[in-house]
Structure 1
Amino acid sequence: MLLLAGMWGLSIPITKFGLGTIPPMTFTALRFMVAVPLFMFLARRELRVSQKAIPGIIGLGVMGITLGNVAQSFGVQESSASVATILSATIPIFMVILAAIRLKQPVTPLQWGGLIAAFLGIALVAIGSDAGAGDMSKTTPSGILWMLVSAVGIAKYYIWSKELSDRYGLMPVAAWNMLVGLVTVLPLAGWELVDHPVQITFEALAAITYLGVMVTVAGLILWLYLLKIVPARIAASVQYLQPIIGISVSAMLFGDRLGLMFGAGVGLVLIGLGFAATGRRSMA
């Protein structure tokens, strides 16, 4: 669990490094150009799916990768790594809201309290971010909006992927929707390259490799292994460790200034995450 929290917690700061010389849509495409062949190889014996699964898999790839991951790249580019990390931690909170809408799961008063606390925390994080910081630590309103769009898209992806995986199997659904996402991102990356130069530095290449192999492929496999050996509610505690690791690393690497208001916002988001995750066992 600590290994997974570290792997996933480092994803936003490492993405920040990669985006220093590669624009967002191209960066996302390169990440999945690494992840997709590896995941397809690992899932090679389970790639057959029913024709009924194809529309859902296509929609899943567009939702999770084309929308969720591209929006995240734009958000990280326009936010400090600390702000982006805490906003990405709201994914489970949006999962509660979407599960209530999509799966008709009831939201308890404690969960409602958590949702309210989390959104107040987001407001404090946004207000408390240092607009006068350097380029690598600067947060813009559009950056916050992109991160929230990403959080909603990825939360929807998780809810939808659970439905499809229960019917058709996790490995084939994951492998094919990643491929769909890559195919849909590639034309966007090509269009982006017309006006945006790309410089493949050692840092950018390392970031792409880490995100493709460790976060996207190894992280998913480790997460599935955790769900087999420990109760889902225990495995889910990784969600609390990720932002702590990500914010700590971001402060060291980029000099993000974490004021009292930012700290209060982080606390509210984490409290909200704890309350909102209460009683989510049925989703696992």
Structure 2
Amino acid sequence: MATKKPFTRHDVLFSSGDSSCAAWLYLPTGVTSPPVVILGHGLGATRDMRLDAFAERFAKAGIAAFAFTYRHFGDSGGQPRQLLSIKRQLADWDAAISWVKTRGGIDGTRIAVWGSSFGGGHAITVASRHPELRAAVAQCPFTDGLASALALGPTATLKAFPVVARDLAAKIRGTAPAMIPLAGTPGSLALMNAPDALPGYQAIVPAGTTFRNEVAARVIPSLVTYRPGRAAKKIAFPILFCVSNTDTVTPPAQTLRYARTAPRGEIKTYDAGHFDFYLGEPFEDLVRDQIEFLTRQFDSAPATSAPGRIASQRR
């Protein structure tokens, strides 16, 4: 007799702004009206770059999971391609929450958001704007653009200026964007050029993916000024920060400073790099901790007032 699958996966296309986002909805088998966690990825990444692995584990634990790809990337809509707009990506999060709330078969009153890397920064911003949510998870989150730019180095930042200028001119002319690599080798022109950046991206790109290692350069000024960590203090419900002790992209010291301002924040640190979080033992540690956290929040009654901050925990 065939073993029943622990979950089913459904292809979804939901409207956002002037286009649409492609997503997967994972529904746990045999669970009536399960809670749901919405997953968004990092800088230029698509949902098939290991968001499915996290979503599968959540579904096996009885939590529905909704993993989506931002507009302008992968198999989602939006023109021009490879355009990273913080405003549009945050609107995609809002649209995903709206879709989940009205979808039958899941509990629209028990929703959490989960973001990794740049998506982790978005998760902080989104959580601060949606008090009706039950919980949030920010994994190796991008919390401060200036801190990340300083980690990249002033020389690398100066190298990007001519490409930014060309792309802004292309925007005015209505021509194809001027691109900059998302990840590159040390010393190369890229948004991330730490030693582990390019191999880290390559390790999570599946065969036949729609992922492109480039983005329209016009995003750089907005990246430097985006500081989602500042919104942590506005989040009244529980949020889990999963922080890499050796993060080369999102400096951990700054992330921890912001995380400690969250009224009901929980912090877990890991001796694994920014790009190690998606595979192997670090992935197992993270997903186990996240399932425990989400299950605890979904099973508890919503708080009417925010108690004191939970002490940080160290792994």
Q: Answer whether TM exceeds 0.5 for this pair.
A: no
| Higher relative contact order, chain-length normalized (CA < 8 Å, sep 6+) | 1
Q: Which TM-score applies when normalising by structure 1?
A: 0.26
Higher strand share: 2
- Larger fraction in helix: 1
